[in-house]
Amino acid sequence: MAYTLEYFQAAAGFLRTKADFVPEIGVVLGSCLGPFARAIENPVEVDYADIPHFLLSTVDSHAGKLIFGTVAGKRVVCMSGRFHSYEGYSFEELVIPVRVLKLLGIRALVLTNAAGGVNTGYRPGDVMVLRDHIKLNGDSPLRGPNAEDFGPRFFDVSRMYTPELRKLALDCARGSPLRVHEGTYMFFPGPQFETPAEIRAARFLGADAVGMSTVTEALTAAHCQLPLLALSVITNMAAGVLDRPLSGQEVDETAERVAGPFSEYMKTILAAI
Ligand code: HPA
């Protein structure tokens, strides 16, 4: 598939007919972090299924709609539901949402996800601001013919998690009941959780948290020079940290418990961006 500028413009052009403003900030909501969507004022919702050339969410906890509206006085476009390689999408396809948001005019992107804690100083319910990531699994989303309209073939990723936005997020944590850390996220393709040996390897390599999303969107944002902030909600300790099996239910329960304070934290961040 040749992902040309026209390909993404079809989706962006359709979306411009739905919302009567240019969004300033794009937000991607991770697993079970959907309740933040309730904080969006004057929402205009568009089903992914109606957007030309978009993808479809197949995970139950992901709503599958784009919501335009206002949060903390900022015009946002929010993806309630994201796409993962474990759903069967190719890494190359996973560039689509971020490029469409970029064409809509956003000037910053905020990614959120649920993640497993590798750093034994973390606890379920904590938040981690991504300082960097490790991705040794799977292809790059930028593999294939380069879309020159978005960025160069070879591009720097040493500052892809924008230092100013990381500082802003850490500053905004003062006054929040959440414990907020800064750390390194390691991507695993899933859908199985990791093995205890993989988690020991991740810790040895310098990872503080692991998850199955975010890095494809982050790399796409870096390619088109979009300022980026990414936040993990630590929903569980990763495999083998505690002597018990992991479950999707544990992930859902923690995400639900943290949803209120996390929404407040997100609002403080959006107000400050
Ligand atoms: N591993 C990978 N992805 C996750 C986890 C985990 O432990 N928790 C939430 N998403």
- Reported as a pLDDT band with limits 50, 70 and 90, residue 33 is confident
DSSP string, 134-187: E--SS--TT-SS--TTT--SS---TT-S-HHHHHHHHHHTTT-SS-EEEEEEEE
Q: Which residue's C-alpha comes closest to atom 2 of ligand 1? A: 211
d(CA 218, CA 141): 10
Element (H, E) at 263: helix 248-272
| Ligand 1 center–CA 154 separation, angstroms | 30
Q: What is the pLDDT of residues 93-141, one digit of tens each?
A: 999 999 999 999 999 999 999 999 999 999 999 999 999 999 999 899 9
pLDDT higher than threshold 80 for residue 15:
yes
Q: What is the pLDDT of residues 168-191, one digit of tens each?
A: 999 999 989 999 999 999 999 999
Mean pLDDT, the chain, rounded, equals 93
- Reported as a pLDDT band with limits 50, 70 and 90, residue 20 is confident
Atom of ligand 1 at shortest distance to CA of 117? 7
| Ligand 1 center–CA 44 separation, angstroms | 31
Query: In the chain, where do the E strands start and end?
Result: 25-29, 41-47, 65-71, 74-80, 108-117, 127-134, 180-187, 209-211, 228-237
The pair of three-digit structure tokens given for residue 264, joined into one six-digit string: 């407040």
Measuring from each residue's beta carbon to the nearest atom of ligand 1, which residues come in under 6 Å?
114-116, 188, 193-194, 210-212, 235-236, 238, 246, 251
Q: What is the pLDDT of residues 43-87, one digit of tens each?
A: 999 999 999 988 877 766 666 899 999 999 999 999 998 899 999
Which residues, listed in sequence order, are joined to residue 187 by a DSSP beta bridge? 211
- What is the predicted pLDDT for the residue at 134? 98
- Reported as a pLDDT band with limits 50, 70 and 90, residue 261 is very high
**Main-chain phi, psi angles of 83, to 5 degrees:** -115, 140
- Reported as a pLDDT band with limits 50, 70 and 90, residue 1 is low
Q: Give mean pLDDT, residues 27-38.
A: 82
**Main-chain phi, psi angles of 62, to 5 degrees:** -115, 120
- Reported as a pLDDT band with limits 50, 70 and 90, residue 238 is very high
